[in-house]
Amino acid sequence: MNDELTGKVAIVTGAGRGLGRIIARTLSDAGANVVVASRTPAQLQEFVEDAEARGRSALAMPTDVTDEGAVDDLVSATVQRFGRVDILVNNSGVVDTSPLLEQAPAAWDRVIDTNLRGTYLVTRAVGAHLVAQGSGKVINIASNFALMGVANHAAYSASKAAVIAFTKSIAVEWARAGVQVNAIAPGYFETDLNAGMRADEEMTSRVLRAIPARRMGSPIELKPWILLLAGTASDFMTGEVIVIDGGQSVT
């Protein structure tokens, strides 16, 4: 499965840290040329330097996915550097934990704009190339919060549920063009983003009590699913949502 990504070109948004960084490294290790995008230029450059030290090709593109012009620049730079694009992973996302009655409209808009509008803009821009070439993979990172009620996460849950519906709709639109569009809905994974939370024993205990497996996911448990959805093994799979959350969403 790893060898077949050699020479493929992937764009990963939200790739500066967290799951996005793990996904970008997974694709790079599998041989893909990876374009990393986020609003954290220094972290993107670190990824490129690491990739090049491992003999891989990568490109850093600081990008605000809510900005249509910036998204167009991201895709244009990718095609100019590598000649094509084959894989898109929409991972950019933000969260706001305000109770709904206290949540300012600006906070709601920030979450919806980044998580949903950003996914739409990048998918549309990349999709024009995928459909034209008659092949490609889109992997949308949703969340298990889209599948259950979670207090103080109305905007986040709504945005990720919309990403799942968006995934299914675009999967139908692009199926005959040879483009597969799927989603992954992860739960809690151990990443640098939640290191502070994991250092708090009481908070960690509260989180783990909500997960039947009584642990968070390890990054290595995400990698096979990324490779599956990015490779030919998923050519007859589209519009699907893979939930990886230790059973949290089914309790």
Cα separation, 93 vs 64, whole angstroms: 11
DSSP 135: -
What amino acid occupies position 134? G
Alpha carbon distance 121, 13 (integer Å): 12
Nearest partner of 123 among 16, 13, 225, judged by Cα: 13
Give me the DSSP letters along 77-119. HHHHHHS---EEEE---------GGG--HHHHHHHHIIIIIHH
Q: Which amino acid is located at 150 in the chain?
A: V
Distance CA 251, CA 246 (A): 10
3-state secondary structure of 163: helix
Q: Which amino acid is at 190?
A: E
User: Has 188 been annotated as catalytic?
Assistant: no
Distance (Å, whole) CA 39 – CA 14: 8
- Is residue 31 left, alpha or beta, with left meaning phi > 0 and alpha meaning psi from -120 to 50? left
- What one-letter code names the amino acid at 124? R
Pick the catalytic residue from 108, 120, 156, 174.
Answer: 156
Distance CA 192, CA 122 (A): 25
Dist. CA 236–CA 143, nearest whole Å: 23
Active site residues: 156
